Amino acid sequence: MLKEIIEITQGYSVDDTYHGEIMKFEDYDQAIEWCQEQEIIYYHKAMQYLAENDASLVESFNLADNIGYTFQSINSETLATIHLQDALINSITEVN
């Protein structure tokens, strides 16, 4: 008797437009963890990211404020990282 094996691929994907990739994960927690591990380092990369994705800085400062940062305690790298992580988390979709 011949058995046909059908692989069901379910999980979650993250649209990482910053790196130009679609990342795939087996479960939601893995996707969230990956998103929270991403960061933008170096001043010039942070400034470029912010100029392209949040030139007014309104979104980034609101996100930073919501998690407890103050204007005096944040730098461009942290601000860009917070914005990137939020964008990644918001791009998570379920794959059926």
| Side chain identity, residue 95 | V
| Contact predicate 40/80, CB 8 Å | yes
How far apart are alpha carbons 19 and 86 in whole angstroms? 15
Per-residue pLDDT of the chain (96 residues; tens, 9 = 90+): 444 443 436 899 999 999 999 999 999 999 999 999 999 999 999 999 999 999 999 999 999 999 999 989 999 999 999 999 999 999 999 998
> What is the model's pLDDT at position 7?
45
- What global pTM score does this model have? 0.86
| Contact predicate 13/23, CB 8 Å | yes
Q: How far is CA 54 from CA 34, 63, 75, 78, in A?
A: 22, 12, 15, 14
> What is the model's pLDDT at position 92?
97
> What is the model's pLDDT at position 6?
39
